[in-house]
Amino acid sequence: MPRSAPARAPITSPAAATVFTTVLTQGPVSRVDVARRTGLSSAAVTKAARPFIEAGYLEELASAGRTAPGAGRPASPLAIRPDREYFIGVKITGDDLIGVVTDLRAQIRVARHHALTSHEAPHVVAALTDLVGELLGSRAPDGATNFRDRAYCLGVAVSGDVDRDSGLVRYSPFLGWRDVPLAELLEDATGLATTLENDVKALTVAEQWFGEGVGASSFALVTVGTGIGSALVLDGRLVGGAHGVAGEVGHVPVAAMGPDSPRCHCGGTGCVEAIASTEAIVASARRVAADPALTMDDAVSRARAGDEPLRHVFATAGHAIGLGLGALANLFGPERIVVSGEGVAAYDLFEDQIRRTFAEQAFGSAVRCGLVIRPLPFEEWARGAAAVAVQSLFVSDRL
């Protein structure tokens, strides 16, 4: 069972949650601005903020003085005290575990990598528990505080079909798991309240609260790498859909159906992932280069050096991604789409084709959707898991 967490953030009402979230994601911000942005009265903001200040989660910064004659008492902006509580985030991959400790703003304070030598659930739980123990035993940046003293929550991100509410990994193709109650197993092993989430959705939470999604009512995140993942935020809420798989652009068919259409591990044909994942790109590159030992790094190097057949492989992948992004923009109309992931490290071979295809495929005003394309360090996946743990402060049974 999770160990007790005394004097945690007093989020006990929707108004308290709204005020705290606003300061967390947009602060420092004055009470007047919090009221303006949330629709709460100034009195309600002051009432909601007081317990957070007393509990050490918020602080009042020094006033910058009046901004105009007759403006009244100078505003003292509210700001998060990021070191008031720490959070553990772990990303599970097929080869290793990436773990981080973050503060309340999901800023990474410590990062660790552990090799994963087996995909058997008991082994993964044991290895992850060891990693958590190492992270908790690290020292905070001030050198005096042990993270263990202020960390109560663990967020875990894993690829596949994940039921966050029950903490169940329903299906993870890279781990070969079906119906593994991972959150329960980890809570028993670590003593930390554990929140489990699909890795792309976890990364999207970090973007929504602390990255490109701040201030956007709607955006999409698409990751390119071992798979093609995606998640959607609409009207400020992460969209799971009735079955938890909403927005899976990687499994949108974009190739003509037929005997030569590439097969996808999902059972479909012509999916974006079957054309643009790392495995698909390497397979295509090996065929055109007539080199069965060709690696992704080799393909990237040769394409950058001007190998036209290999450049075409990457352009084909970029075209498939652009078609998927166009479908997202046409169906959901997000303000922006963030394209990231380890596969985007070769963005120079993808980007032009992605943008051209997207511009051709997006319908009408959907073409105005902003595209942000950037690589993603693996630690950011773990940071996303930690951001999900930060959300545990807002669990519904406390409101």
Q: Which fold has domain 85-205+380-398?
A: Nucleotidyltransferase; domain 5 (3.30.420)
Is the CATH code 3.30.420.40 the one for domain 211-377? yes
- Helix (H), strand (E) counts: the chain: 12, 15
Tokens representing 348? Answer: 């120079």
pLDDT in tens, 47-94: 999 999 999 999 999 875 555 444 555 578 999 999 999 999 999 998
CA distance 172 to 175: 5
Between 105 and 378, the higher pLDDT residue: 105
Q: How far is CA 339 from the centre of its chain?
A: 12
Between 4 and 172, the higher pLDDT residue: 172
Q: Where in the chain are the domains?
A: 14-80, 85-205+380-398, 211-377
Q: Categorize the per-residue pLDDT at 264 as very low, low, confident or very high, splitting at 50, 70 and 90.
A: confident
Window from 184-198, 298-312, 324-338, 363-377 with minimum mean pLDDT: 363-377
The residues facing 339 across adjacent strands are 222, 373
pLDDT at 142: 64
85-205+380-398 and 211-377 agree in CATH topology:
yes
What mean pLDDT value characterizes the chain? Answer: 88
Tokens representing 186? Answer: 């980890």
Tokens representing 92? Answer: 């599970």
Confidence (pTM): 0.84
Residue in the block written with tokens 């602060």: 27
Is the CATH code 1.10.10.10 the one for domain 14-80? yes
Task: Count CB atoms within 10 A of the CB of residue 105.
Answer: 15
